[in-house]
Chains A and B, each alone.
Chain A
Amino acid sequence: MTAHANELAVHVRGLRKQYGDVTALDGIDLGIRRGEVFGLLGPNGAGKSTTVEILQGNRSRDAGEVTVLGADPATGTRAWRSRVGIVWQDESAPAELTVRETVRHFARYYPRPRDPEEVIGLVGLDAKADSRIKALSGGQRRRLDVALGVIGDPELLLLDEPTTGFDPAARRQFWDLIRLLADEGTTILLTTHYLEEAEALADRLAVVARGRIVAEGGSVELRERYGTGATVEWTEADGSPRAEHTDTPTRTVAGLMRRFDGEIPGLVVRRPTLEDVYLRLTGQEDAR
């Protein structure tokens, strides 16, 4: 049904991209609803950035159907571009200008921009508003990138690893900003390799590995579907630590209770974290 496609801010079917002999995208399917915060997770080189760049209209595709805000990004008009905000993976703001000059200037490109002063405040650069960009720290430059991504008041915000290089406090502040934008109804797609970030922000996640989507759903859903079993850890009477992976942790604990006759020393029952699920799905279990 076409009505279904209209509800989607981003609709991707069978997306393929080849770089020479290397297959970057091997048939990606995505559906992002309006107003949703969607996280694209995956290791480096999995195809996250290529996907986002195709959605931005900045990279060609070899095959597949892509609709972003009702249009094909490959033929995106100026009006379409004014509705899509982009936060690039690598910063590229003009070094000799100040933060205020840059944000004000970019605001001019859009038909209905946000107030530049408000945006500078939102990303926490008030104190640096009159500093030259070349004098900013890496984290501050990333905040400026975010400011330039939201200055046009986009309906859809595409963020490619936005918090790389942030310190933990800056990352929390960035999360607040994303939640604020989401509350306002902005559809957000962000790629990240920080699982806590995806878990904290995204309504839904897709895990990308080797150019394919290997799992999709909410973080709890993913954990339940792909994270089977649990690990039971305890300490033996001689002080040596033990661990056992089992699908029936309660039975294991009951057995241990009988053996120790009461309290089990150092008992921990651990359900798989999103990270365990993620590493399994992306075939990186050995990395643990």
Chain B
Amino acid sequence: MTTTAARPRTQAPAGRLPGAWILGLHRGALEIKQFFRQRDQVVFTFAFPVVFLFLFASIFHDDVRGSGVTASQLYVPAMMASGIMSTSFQSLGISIAVERDEKVLRRLRGTPMPPAAYFLGKIWLVLFTGILETAILLLVGASLYGVDLPSDAGRWFDFAWIFVLGLTGCALLGIAISSVPKSAKSASSVVVLPFLVLQFISGVYISIDTIPDWMLRIGALFPLKWLCQGLRGVFLPDSARVLEQAGSWEFGRTALVLAAWCVGGLALCLLTFRWKNRRDA
């Protein structure tokens, strides 16, 4: 600490506080930088769905009767949906719980940073990693398992809104669940267990036509089932609709449920988000 000459306090009128949007952009860049510097987290987030896609799509590859698709093809949109939820719900749920436990959040709260900038930063992170994850899975699916990329713009538009609504809903749910674990240590089990269960009852690991109806009905309350279904609609031929519970892709209902989760998730976050650990209240 070098001692420099005393600097007189500037008497200028109070400067303007920087806006939430611009600070959100800066936080986003910082979050992405931090994310990619944590090798473990990068590998865990990106490799997990790819490894699972490889395993499932290679083990189950027969034609699914009367649908015109192979089991491998079914797994591609399923794993993309799972990847979107992993980069949003799982990664936010765990990382925010850790940041809260390590008092990173409390420190931010002690600065004039607007809370919205923090959430915007998280959304940029999730958008960035989610797009990357989806692109990787799509690449693997198209090159190894014969999934055809849609040729008309309408399907790509469907893909865009399913991706954005699904990612946002899952991210908000992730922020909400981050308040549940009591400490960073318990965060991964609290977040991963419900995610795992949802993957089983939403048609990620197991084809939707072999899951009992009552389980599907529970799965249908959450966004993952609709994310899976919507992506199947985008990337599978219409002949595969016979496998769906309703016999159609139900894009309208998918949009409705995912949008409802975005609104409900936001309300849940606003009601439950804490800057401090429960012990610290």
Write the residues of chain A forming the contact surface with B, with a CB cutoff of 8 angstroms.
56-58, 78-79, 81-82, 84, 86, 88, 90, 92-94, 96-97, 101, 105-106, 108-112, 118, 121-124, 132, 143, 148, 152-153, 173-174, 176-177, 180, 183-186
Interfacial chain B residues near A148, Cβ < 8 Å = 107
* A153 CA to B9 CA, complexed, in Å: 9
Q: Other CB < 8 Å A-B pairs besides A111-B18, A143-B1, 19 of them?
A: A56-B110, A58-B110, A78-B17, A82-B112, A86-B107, A88-B103, A88-B107, A92-B106, A93-B104, A96-B38, A97-B33, A101-B33, A108-B26, A111-B112, A112-B10, A174-B1, A180-B3, A183-B6, A184-B6
Interfacial chain A residues near B12, Cβ < 8 Å = 112
* 8 Å CB contact of A111 from B3, B14, B37: B14
Q: How far is the CB of A199 from chain B (nearest CB, A)?
A: 20
Residues of B within 8 A of A (CB-CB), count: 34
Chain B residue with the shortest CB-CB distance to A88: B107
* A152 CA to B8 CA, complexed, in Å: 15
* 8 Å CB contact of B9 from A86, A90, A97, A185: A185
A111 touches B15 (CB 8 A): yes
Known: A96-B34, A96-B37. A58 touches B26 (CB 8 A): no
Interfacial chain A residues near B9, Cβ < 8 Å = 153, 184-186
Interfacial chain B residues near A109, Cβ < 8 Å = 18, 23, 111-113
Known: A58-B276, A105-B26, A112-B15. A122 touches B103 (CB 8 A): no
* 8 Å CB contact of A123 from B1, B102, B109, B111: B1
Known: A101-B30, A105-B26. A177 touches B1 (CB 8 A): yes
* 8 Å CB contact of A124 from B1, B8, B30: B1
B:4-27 near A, CB below 8 Å: 4, 6-10, 12, 14-18, 23, 26
Name which of A84, A110, A118, A186 has the most chain B CB atoms within 10 A of its CB. A110
A97 touches B34 (CB 8 A): yes
B34 touches A58 (CB 8 A): no
Write the residues of chain B forming the contact surface with A, with a CB cutoff of 8 angstroms.
1-4, 6-10, 12, 14-18, 23, 26, 30, 33-34, 37-38, 102-104, 106-107, 109-114, 276
Interfacial chain B residues near A92, Cβ < 8 Å = 102-104, 106-107
* A112 CA to B12 CA, complexed, in Å: 9
Interfacial chain B residues near A108, Cβ < 8 Å = 18, 23, 26
Q: How far is the CB of A186 from chain B (nearest CB, A)?
A: 8
Interfacial chain B residues near A152, Cβ < 8 Å = 111-112
* A110 CA to B228 CA, complexed, in Å: 43
* A153 CA to B1 CA, complexed, in Å: 17
* A177 CA to B102 CA, complexed, in Å: 27
* A204 CA to B23 CA, complexed, in Å: 39
Known: A82-B17, A112-B10. A106 touches B4 (CB 8 A): no
- Which 8 pairs show the lowest CB-CB distances between chains A and B? A111-B15, A173-B1, A92-B103, A82-B112, A96-B37, A124-B1, A78-B112, A81-B112
Interfacial chain A residues near B7, Cβ < 8 Å = 184
A111 touches B16 (CB 8 A): yes
Name which of A86, A94, A118, A186 has the most chain B CB atoms within 10 A of its CB. A94
Chain A residue with the shortest CB-CB distance to B18: A108
Interfacial chain B residues near A90, Cβ < 8 Å = 103
* A252 CA to B4 CA, complexed, in Å: 50
Interfacial chain A residues near B102, Cβ < 8 Å = 92
* 8 Å CB contact of B4 from A111, A112, A180: A180
A58 touches B33 (CB 8 A): no
B1 touches A122 (CB 8 A): yes
A58 touches B109 (CB 8 A): yes
Q: How far is the CB of B183 from chain A (nearest CB, A)?
A: 15
